[in-house]
Amino acid sequence: MPVVNFHLVDGHCSTEQKACLLKDASQLYSLVLRSPIDRVRAFITLHAATECAVAGEVVEAGGRHAPFFEFFVLEGRPLDERQALMRGFTDLLSTTLAVERCLIRGRCIRVDPQDWCIGGRDAAELRKQEILDRAAQAGGAE
């Protein structure tokens, strides 16, 4: 499930900064949600400076970069985890891209497990099976 998308202005960050952001965001997601890293997806969507505005001004080559991020979690994730991700993604953007924190915006999108699929199967079904598998393993460990 863990998916994050960073919306950035093209030309305002290097290839190295983008790679660092994707890697560090994936690690953060995995750590906060206690989710295997292989489940995490991180994306960057670039927007032309001529197609973005900050404070009502179109961003030019030297204009203000104000990143925006969106991330998804399955419904039921605790508030403290969602807030940790919001703070963490903001910190990553601020540090990695040298952007003022006050310019960064973000959004958490909670999704009902029945409305999310993994490999063509709904997450509710997969989640139920994982819980059963864990219970079976715990029972066999006694």
Whether residues 67 and 104 share a domain: the answer is yes
Distance CA 104, CA 119 (A): 33
Q: Residue written as tokens 């508030």?
A: 79
How many domains would you assign to the chain?
Answer: 2
pTM: 0.86
Whether residues 126 and 88 share a domain: the answer is no
pLDDT in tens, 45-61: 999 999 988 888 888 75
Q: C-alpha distances in angstroms, 93 versus 59, 70, 84, 106, 121?
A: 18, 13, 14, 11, 33
Whether residues 98 and 120 share a domain: the answer is no
Predicted pLDDT of residue 131? 62
Distance CA 52, CA 107 (A): 18
- In one-letter notation, the amino acid at residue 94 is S
